[in-house]
Amino acid sequence: MRGVSSRVAEEFDNVMVKCAVTEPKCVTFDHNITFSVGYGNESGIPKFIDDGVIGLSPGSIKEITISINSLTADEKQFLCLEKTKESFATFVLELLQLRKLKEVWEMTEKEKISSARQCKCRGNSHLQNNSGKSKIQNTIGRI
The pLDDT confidence band at residue 142, using thresholds 50, 70 and 90, is very low
Q: Contact at 8 Å (CB) between 61 and 74?
A: no
SS3 content of the chain, % helix, strand, coil (to 5): 40, 25, 35
Q: Contact at 8 Å (CB) between 74 and 40?
A: no
Phi and psi for 2 in degrees, rounded to 5? -55, 130
Give 50: exposed, middle or buried? Use CB within 10 Å, 0-12, 13-18, 19+. buried
Q: Contact at 8 Å (CB) between 88 and 65?
A: yes
CATH second-level architecture of 1-106? Roll (3.10)
> Could you tell me which residue, 141 or 35, shows the higher pLDDT?
35
- How are strands ordered across the β-sheet holding 61-67? 27-36, 14-22, 88-99, 61-67
The pLDDT confidence band at residue 122, using thresholds 50, 70 and 90, is low
Dump pLDDT digits (tens) for 37-87.
998 888 889 999 999 999 999 999 999 999 999 999 999 999 999 888 889
Enumerate the domain spans of the chain: 1-106, 108-143
